[in-house]
Structures are given as C-alpha cells and as structure tokens.
Amino acid sequence: MQIDHLINGKPVAGRDYFQTVNPATQEVLAEVASGGEADVHAAVAAAKEAFPKWAGLPAPERAKLIRKLGDLIARNVPEIAQTETNDCGQVIAQTGKQLVPRAADNFYYFAEMCTRVDGHTYPTPTHLNYTLFHPVGVCALISPWNVPFMTATWKVAPCLAFGNTAVLKMSELSPLTAARLGELALEAGIPAGVLNLVHGYGKEAGEPLVAHPDVRAISFTGSTATGNRIVKSAGLKKFSMELGGKSPFVIFDDADLDRALDAAIFMIFSNNGERCTAGSRILVQQSIYADFAAKFAERAKRITVGDPLDEKTIVGPMISQAHLAKVRSYIELGPKEGATLLCGGLGAPELPDRVKKGNYVLPTVFADVDNRMKIAQDEIFGPVACLIPFKDEADAIRLANDIAYGLSSYVWTENIGKAHRVAAAVEAGMCFVNSQNVRDLRQPFGGTKASGTGREGGTWSYEVFCEPKNIAVSL
Ligand code: NAD
C-alpha cells in the first residue's frame, strides 16, 4: 500500500517514502510519503485559500458536514480500529470499543458546539462592549503515535468546527488512520483544502510547518522535548502544548482498596502503558503499602500480553524497537537504583506465533521506589509501575509534586475533606478523585509545568482555535 500526502483534496506523491511497520509482527504495512518544506508550503497555501469560504459558512452548515464525518467514522469503526491496532499496537479492545468510537464523538460534540458559540457583553454607561469569537486561520495540528486517531480527531474536530482550516501532521510511526480520516473528510463533503495532511518526520515536515508564517495556531501533542523546541522555533503564534506526564496515583489507607487497585492497574497497563495520563507513580500510604504491593503485583502478573488483534489482550507491543529499547533500559535501571522488582522484568513474554517478532515487554512492577530515582522521575511510557510509600497527607502532596511534570493526578480516599485538599494541592492540570481517567468532552484537558500549556475541550478549545475580539461601541 502507498500513502500520499493530501493537499487541496488530492493525493500528492512524496519525493521520498518511508515505511510504517506493524509493531506486533514487523510486517511493512505501507510506504508513506515523506514530506518536506515544499509539501508543507503547498498544504499551507491550500489551507489558506480554503479558509475564507469555510470560515464564512454559517456554523450550522459546517456542523452538518462535521457531523457527517462523525457518522462515517462511526460506520467504519471495525476497519479503522483494525488499521490503528496494526499501525500502533494499541489493543483492539481499546481501539474498537473506546478510541475510534470516541473519535466519532469528537466530531458530534464539536459539530453541536460550533452552533452555540456566543459572545459576552460588558455594558458601561458610556460604552457597550461585546466580544466576537473569530476563527484563527490556518492551524498546524501535530499528533504523536500513541492513540493517534483519537488525538488527531480531538484536534481536527474543534479546529474545523470553529471555521479554521488545517494542516495535520501525524507521527511518522502511526500515519495510517489519519490518512483514512482525510479520505472520509472529503467523502463527508468537507471542501478540498480545509483539511490537508502532510506525512513525514519531525525535522523535515514538522519544523517547516510550525515555523510557517501563514500558520496562525499550533495544536501540538507530543513529548516535552519537542514541545520546547517548537515553542522556541515557531515565533508568535497561538499554542496549545499537550506534553508528557508522570502522574501521581495517590492511595490513602482509608480508600476503597478494591476499586483503587482496579483503577491503578488500568491507569498504568491499559494502552500498553503508552498513555500521557498514565498513573505511573503509585503513591501508597505506608500502613497499607505491603498488602497493596503484593495484590498489585499479583494482578500485574495475570495481565494478558499478546496479539493486539485478540480481544482478550490487555498489553500489546511497544510502538517501535527503539521505544522498546528505551522501556527495557528503565527496567534494567530499576534494580540498579535500588528498587525491588516484584514482577515482569527483562524476560520474554509467552506469545502466539503470529506476534513472536513483536516489540514486547512484560508488565513490570517496581516496589520500594524512591521518588528521586530516575524510574520515578522520567516518563518511561510503557507498562512499568513504580510503587512509592508515603507517610501522611503532607508527605503524599510533597511527593506528588516533586516532579517536573503536571498533567494528571489521581487521589483515592473515603475522607471527603482530604480528597478536596489533596486535589487542590496537587500540581496538575487534572485530578480524578476515586476514579480512573474518565473524560467529559467539556472539561479542560491539559497540563501544567513540563506537561504543557493551554487547555482543549469544550469552550477551552477557544483558547487555541478562536480569536476573541472586543468591540466597544460609544453610546
Ligand atoms: P514526539 O515529540 O517525538 O513527536 C510528536 C510529533 O511531533 C510527531 O508527529 C513528530 O513527528 C513531531 N515532531 C518531532 N519533532 C518536531 C519538530 N521539531 N517540529 C515539529 N514537529 C515535530 O512525541 P512522540 O514520541 O510521538 O509521543 C509521545 C509523547 O507524547 C509522550 O511524551 C506523551 O506523554 C506525549 N503525549 C501527550 C499527550 C497529552 O495530551 N498531554 C497525549 C499523548 C501523548
């Protein structure tokens, strides 16, 4: 299969092609156009030309097309989910039941929302002030390889719904489902040039895109290192930076331990542990630490590692051999830093024949982790849990915040006052109390500190995709 760029509604051949590989089997899935400056220029020019007409459509007409795109995704869930699973190794139980259906919901949600954009009024005795929310113009949308389809749609849906046009660049490791999104957008009747795709590597395709003078806003999801680079090189533009995380999952001794255990397992091992909001630092109160650690490791040992196309598989392959090597290097480091390996480690999981060559790692649990160890401070982005004991509420808050990141956080306690105090004190963009990460599309999604800046979701998406204007009329 060959995947080309999509520019102004037409497939555009690459000057060069790279291969995308199934991480479970190492089979080459497609030859993908490798974009550069010229492709970026053409895509931005197409988006710029399409902008006035698209922005000028009444919102209900844009909404109709956006909703239709949602319908086309909903109708094609099994096919898209299978492509996604093959391209990035996320297990089919997640892609088929959660992530691809959620992508359709993103379009339904923002189709509805764009018809309700309203302004504010600030009347004074001498002036009437009111605000308008204009679309921004051409937006650069850049996505990572983990949950790529859902992330792409989380950007494309509000971007287009609010009247902007887009150039989308997916990760070079997982470009296939977004290529399908481009086809479905045209099938839905979204005009040529409104959504353009340039494939390729960060340096060749990403850099010229974010630096392009006609790009007015950047919605980026990816690593903190890349986010920092983009902020420095892009110049004055609107930004939303959704970056890395190492989120604390705090369990007090008065928590509902069975539910906390289920949620803790889910938040570190689902999506192969390749999840920005993973609860990867599990802080457990000393009085229940030993018991919790034993139960947690027992559950982790029973996790099914295997073929991501098998509905029963919980942990599939890591995205690439390079990423596998990175995750393994942290598993090797843990005992050297003094952590106790409770399960997993560097051994090979038992695998069905079809996926024997895949990039697999065993779900791994480290106990007796000190929060200053590298395994606790660095984003491993794999199925590796760190169990860290704490003494009391103040100690839990101190450890939760002793980290560069601030994306998500989780607090488990039956004490309502303590829950609210810790939720308020933790330095993170999001805090889930007695819950795993459950999303409502209205809530502000995003992080603080090294996890980024800006929020997306609901009216928070105005921040990057709308330009507010105040109009003051003298009375
Ligand atoms: P990455 O930063 O390596 O790449 C992300 C995207 O940026 C890719 O499309 C890449 O090609 C592109 N890119 C690379 N260099 C660029 C440059 N100089 N200019 C423009 N674009 C460039 O990240 P990754 O390894 O693909 O993704 C994993 C990271 O993403 C993790 O850190 C994870 O936590 C983070 N993430 C964050 C969220 C969130 O919402 N906060 C969600 C998912 C993933």
In angstroms, the CA 123 to CA 109 distance is: 32
Residues near 37 by beta carbon (within 8 Å), at least 6 away in sequence: 204, 208
Distance of CA 357 to the CA centre of its chain: 27
Distance of alpha carbon 334 from the chain centroid: 26
Distances 191 to 93, 121, 184, 197, 364 between C-alpha atoms, Å: 34, 34, 12, 14, 48
Strand order in the sheet with 138-142: 10-12, 5-7, 195-197, 165-169, 138-142, 215-221, 238-242, 452-453
Q: Of all atoms in ligand 1, which is nearest to the CA of residue 447?
A: 41
Q: Is 205 exposed, middle or buried (0-12, 13-18, 19+ CB in 10 A)?
A: buried
Helices assigned H by DSSP within 254-405: 257-269, 286-301, 321-337, 374-377, 393-401
Residue nearest to atom 34 of ligand 1 (CA): 244
Give buried/exposed letters for 15-30 (b at 16+ CB in 10 A, else e). eebbebbbbbbeeebb
Q: What distance separates the 2 farthest-apart alpha carbons in the chain? A: 78
The atom number, within ligand 1, closest to the CA of 171 reads 9
Q: What is the pTM of this model?
A: 0.97
**In the structure encoding, which two tokens stand for residue 299, read together?**
């559950």
CA 244 to ligand 1: nearest atom: 34
Q: Which residues are registered as beta bridge partners of 31?
A: 2, 19
What is the structure's pLDDT at 298?
98
User: Who lines ligand 1 at CB under 6 A?
Assistant: 142-146, 169-172, 201-203, 206-207, 210, 221-223, 226, 229-230, 242-245, 276, 379, 381, 407, 447, 452
Choosing from 226, 378, 448 the residue with most ligand 1 atoms within 8 A of its CB, the one to mutate for a pocket test is 226
User: Which residue's alpha carbon is nearest to atom 43 within ligand 1?
Assistant: 276
Q: What pLDDT, on a 0 to 100 scale, did the predictor assign at position 429?
A: 98
Identify the residue whose tokens are 């869930």: 77
**Which tokens belong to 467?**
């330009």
Q: Which of 44, 141, 146 to mutate to test the pocket of ligand 1 (most atoms within 8 A of CB)?
A: 146
Closest residue CA from atom 6 of ligand 1? 144
Q: How far is the CA of 143 from the centre of ligand 1 (A)?
A: 6
Give residue for tokens 């507010």.
Answer: 468
Catalytic residues: 242
- Distance of alpha carbon 38 from the chain centroid: 28
Give the Cα separation of 245 and 334 in Å (integer): 19
Identify the residue whose C-alpha is closest to ligand 1 atom 16: 202
Cβ pair 261, 296 in contact under 8 A: yes
> pLDDT at position 69, please?
98
CA of 116 relative to ligand 1 center, distance in Å: 32
Check residue 111 and give its pLDDT.
98
Task: Specify burial of residue 51 (Cβ count, 10 A radius: 0-12, 13-18, 19+).
Answer: buried
Rg of the Cα atoms in the chain? 23
pLDDT, one tens digit for every residue, the chain (475 residues): 999 999 999 999 999 999 999 999 999 999 999 999 999 999 999 999 999 999 999 999 999 999 999 999 999 999 999 999 999 999 999 999 999 999 999 999 999 999 999 989 999 999 999 999 999 999 999 999 999 999 999 999 999 999 999 999 999 999 999 999 999 999 999 999 999 999 999 999 999 999 999 999 999 999 999 999 999 999 999 999 999 999 999 999 999 999 999 999 999 999 999 999 999 999 999 999 999 999 999 999 999 999 999 999 999 999 999 999 999 999 999 999 999 999 999 999 999 999 999 999 999 999 999 999 999 999 999 999 999 999 999 999 999 999 999 999 999 999 999 999 999 999 999 999 999 999 999 999 999 999 999 999 999 999 999 999 999 999 9
Q: Taken in order 359, 363, 365, 370, is the CA torsion positive or negative?
A: positive
Shortest-distance atom of ligand 1 to CA 445: 40
Q: Which of 147, 171, 275 to mutate to test the pocket of ligand 1 (most atoms within 8 A of CB)?
A: 171
Contact 41, 62 (CB under 8 A): no
Residue 192 CB partners (closer than 8 Å, separation 6+): 8, 9, 10, 46, 50, 186
Closest by CA position to 165, among listed 185, 188, 140, 182: 140
| Residue 13 burial (CB count, 10 A) | 11
